[in-house]
């Protein structure tokens, strides 16, 4: 990789490290701190939705904040402490203050016997309870005796916080990019997505865009549901979308298709990944594509990730830490998603204005530009394919797929043919600004 690439990856990794300690949950100050950090780089709009707000079949919950949480031996020594690692506390634990025996405490302690050195990640958002998570090795080493248990938390009416950024394009058609922001100290599962989208927003804000690009940084499930409930009109403008999660580990890329299965985003992601990634079918399980692809919306939104969630041992444990996420992998993901967006931006459907037999390309100067190109033969083939298939039924992506040529060279050929007066774009966009 070139020097600039490594630097960008390292800058992204530094942001992951800054966000890592923040005590995120589906509501509360950890999410606010996270979005404030993102806002230092891009002009995010922050929305607060009050607890109790009805959002389709759900209700925005009470807000949860933790001052401190620990388990101490009677002598005062803290054996489990939220300050040491925020995975130690079960997310949305109700307040507790008391003394209890190990036997009484035991049902509230969670560990992974088959992975004895890591702290698991547990939450109890919708069922009031409390608990601590710790490594199985530590659990087994806890001596009998009395423990002081303190969860100094508030769980009361407040709000749910999400961040949004709209980069206006020439069209009102939108590309939606979404990441969840509710996981605490887990680096790959949610920080990699947040950071890659932040850097994409910074880059795309410098470009002239055809379609508008909307970024949503929201708590998983309830945040996406809340965004959809408050933005039903905007959601109808989404022409393409990606949920981005788990893109910093060393696994290869995985793209999960939208519910539609054959949306342009599905074809664009497959084309960009080519042989370097795998493409899997939609399932109604995973991240917030579950909400975007619910039948009442059925948005063309796929899931872009590396290793499939739930299939690697670090998933939802303290082993998903800063060393699990690699700068060069973040950078690769950023570039791959940027390439997908470039395909979405340049794709279009054209008609050949001279469809009866081949037009004379030489007469129109179309051979003259060939010599300056990296692969003149490929460019010539791209022009022939674009002229042949542009009958109003094939978009450029379909032409790239059928010809086996890279999308970029097909799009360049189309540009040259438009300039020469041989091609015209069809398809009127419904949402012209």
CB of 226 to Zn ion, least distance (A): 18
CB of 244 to Zn ion, least distance (A): 13
Q: Are strands 132-133 and 212-218 parallel, antiparallel or unpaired?
A: unpaired
Rounded Cα distance, 109 and 130, in Å: 9
Phi-psi region of 315 (alpha: psi -120 to 50; beta: other; left: phi over 0): beta
Looking at the Cβ atoms of 189 and 314, the one nearer to Zn ion is: 189
Burial class (CB in 10 A: 0-12, 13-18, 19+), 192: buried
Contacts of 190 (CB under 8 A, 6+ apart): 24, 179, 180, 181, 182, 183, 220, 245
Rounded Cα distance, 230 and 56, in Å: 10
Looking at the Cβ atoms of 301 and 423, the one nearer to Zn ion is: 301
Tokens of 69: 């949480």
Here the contacts of 81-84 (C-beta below 8 Å, separation 24 or greater) are: 82/23
Rounded (10°) CA dihedral 327, 329, 331, 336: -170
Looking at the Cβ atoms of 320 and 332, the one nearer to Zn ion is: 320
Local structure of residue 191 (DSSP, 8 states): I
Q: Are strands 132-133 and 109-110 parallel, antiparallel or unpaired?
A: parallel
Tokens of 23: 């005590």
Looking at the Cβ atoms of 120 and 408, the one nearer to Zn ion is: 120
Local structure of residue 207 (DSSP, 8 states): S
Looking at the Cβ atoms of 131 and 220, the one nearer to Zn ion is: 220
Total of residues contacting Zn ion (CB under 5 A):
1
CB of 218 to Zn ion, least distance (A): 14
Task: Give the distance from CA 210 to its chain's centroid.
Answer: 22
> What string marks each residue from 380 to 419 as x (binds Zn ion by CB under 5 A) or -?
----------------------------------------
CB of 312 to Zn ion, least distance (A): 12
Looking at the Cβ atoms of 189 and 288, the one nearer to Zn ion is: 189
CB of 334 to Zn ion, least distance (A): 21
Residues within window 179-238 making contact with Zn ion, judged by CB under 5 A: 189
Degrees, nearest 5: CA angle 109-110-114 = 140
CB of 316 to Zn ion, least distance (A): 6
Shortest-Cβ-distance residue relative to Zn ion = 189
> What string marks each residue from 161 to 190 as x (binds Zn ion by CB under 5 A) or -?
----------------------------x-
CB of 45 to Zn ion, least distance (A): 25
Looking at the Cβ atoms of 211 and 221, the one nearer to Zn ion is: 221
Contact positions vs Zn ion (CB under 5 A): 189
């Amino acid at each position: 990789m070139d020097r600039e690439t490594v630097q960008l990856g390292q800058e992204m990794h530094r942001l992951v490290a800054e966000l890592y300690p923040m005590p995120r949950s589906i509501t509360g100050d950890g999410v606010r701190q996270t979005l404030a950090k993102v806002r230092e780089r891009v002009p995010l709009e922050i929305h607060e939705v009050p607890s109790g707000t009805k959002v389709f079949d759900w209700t925005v919950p009470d807000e949860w904040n933790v001052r401190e949480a620990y388990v101490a031996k009677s002598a005062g020594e803290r054996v489990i402490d939220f300050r040491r690692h925020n995975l130690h506390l079960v997310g949305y634990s109700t307040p507790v203050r008391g003394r209890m025996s190990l036997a009484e405490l035991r049902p509230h302690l969670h560990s992974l016997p088959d992975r004895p050195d890591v702290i698991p990640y547990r939450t109890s958002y919708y069922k009031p309870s409390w608990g601590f998570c710790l490594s199985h090795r530590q659990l087994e080493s806890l001596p009998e005796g009395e423990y002081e248990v303190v969860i100094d938390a508030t769980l009361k009416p407040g709000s749910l916080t999400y961040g949004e950024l709209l980069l206006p394009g020439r069209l009102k058609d939108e590309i939606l990019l979404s990441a969840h922001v509710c996981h605490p100290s887990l680096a790959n599962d949610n920080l990699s997505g947040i950071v890659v989208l932040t850097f994409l927003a910074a880059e795309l804000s410098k470009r002239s865009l055809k379609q508008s690009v909307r970024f949503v940084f929201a708590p998983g499930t309830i945040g996406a549901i809340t965004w959809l409930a408050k933005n039903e009109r905007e959601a109808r403008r989404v022409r393409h979308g990606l949920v981005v999660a788990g893109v910093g580990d060393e696994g290869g890329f995985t793209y999960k298709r939208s519910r539609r299965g054959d949306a342009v985003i599905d074809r664009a992601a497959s084309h960009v990944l080519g042989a370097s990634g795998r493409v899997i079918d939609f399932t109604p399980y995973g991240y917030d594509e579950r909400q975007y692809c619910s039948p009442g919306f059925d948005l063309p939104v796929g899931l872009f990730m590396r290793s499939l969630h739930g299939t690697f041992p670090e998933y939802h444990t303290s082993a998903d830490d800063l060393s699990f996420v690699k700068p060069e992998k973040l950078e690769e993901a950023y570039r791959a998603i940027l390439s997908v967006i470039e395909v979405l931006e340049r794709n279009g459907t054209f008609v050949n204005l001279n469809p009866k037999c081949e037009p004379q390309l030489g007469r129109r100067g179309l051979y003259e530009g060939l010599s300056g190109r990296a692969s003149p033969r490929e460019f010539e083939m791209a022009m022939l394919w674009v002229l042949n298939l542009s009958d109003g039924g094939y978009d450029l992506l379909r032409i790239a797929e059928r010809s086996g040529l890279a999308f970029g060279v097909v799009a360049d050929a189309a540009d040259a043919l438009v300039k020469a007066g041989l091609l015209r774009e069809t398809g009127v966009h419904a949402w012209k600004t």
